[in-house]
Amino acid sequence: EAGVVQSPRYKIIEKKQPVAFWCNPISGHNTLYWYLQNLGQGPELLIRYENEEAVDDSQLPKDRFSAERLKGVDSTLKIQPAELGDSAVYLCASSFGQGVKDTQYFGPGTRLTVL
Amino acid sequence: DAKTTQPPSMDCAEGRAANLPCNHSTISGNEYVYWYRQIHSQGPQYIIHGLKNNETNEMASLIITEDRKSSTLILPHATLRDTAVYYCIASGSGNEKLTFGTGTRLTIIP
């Protein structure tokens, strides 16, 4: 079974440039998550989708961050414009959406460096 | 989600049992204890979860105290591949937001 796929794995951009990350969840998983992980810290949720609906985006900085999950399968997270403080690892995860018994499966992440 | 407290780092000899503690004194009655680990340069990986009974699977055992204010993750025979950051999380549901702390960095010593 293929895991959560993310691309690119690494991205280096200059500040004020736009950047996009792509995630393909495990087949059949209804719930998709985007997390942000700063160096030395645990991941923090940015947004959670149930199928194509964003059910928790309270931590997403909406002035510069946007996300979409068209057709309820793969998802794109965008930053425009990027700032120096956005340098971090962006993790995508997916789950079946079974509540308590659910487990989240994480991709390898995209490491973003903003210069 | 209830706050959890873990030691920042631990060492364990290869082949020995690794016992990772977690305090969650404010956990509510409907919150489960989840454990994930993160090996360097990888995404977090689910290990185990439980409510109040002890749980065991192929990866680890989870011991939860009777008052549910603390728990211990046990890796019975640690290998070098178990070197990772281990996160203890209290959550009402596995598919909602997971609030990761800074975790315990476990180093397995050859």
pLDDT digits (tens, 9 = 90+) for A24-37: 999 999 999 999 99
For residue A94 the two structure tokens come to 């997916």
- Nearest to B75, CA basis, from B5, B7, B13: B13
Q: Tell me which chain B residues have a C-beta less than 8 angstroms from the C-beta of A31.
A: 95
Q: How far apart are CA A43 and CA B103, in angstroms?
A: 11
When pLDDT is averaged across residues A32-43 and rounded to a whole number, the result is: 95
When pLDDT is averaged across residues B1-15 and rounded to a whole number, the result is: 94
Would the CB atoms of A44 and B101 count as touching at under 8 Å?
Answer: no
Contact B34, B91 (CB under 8 A): yes
pLDDT of residue A11: 98
Q: How far apart are CA B35 and CA B10, in angstroms?
A: 16
Q: Residue A100 pLDDT more than 70?
A: no
Would the CB atoms of A95 and B95 count as touching at under 8 Å?
Answer: yes
DSSP state of B81: G
Checking DSSP bridges between strand A44-50 and strand A31-37, what pairing results, if any?
A: antiparallel
pLDDT of residue B1: 75
The residue ranking higher by pLDDT, B19 or B30, is B19
**Residue-averaged pLDDT of chain A:** 94
Task: Please tell me the distance in Å from B4's CA to the nearest CA on chain A.
Answer: 13
Q: Residue A85 pLDDT more than 90?
A: yes
pLDDT of residue A60: 95
When pLDDT is averaged across residues B72-98 and rounded to a whole number, the result is: 91
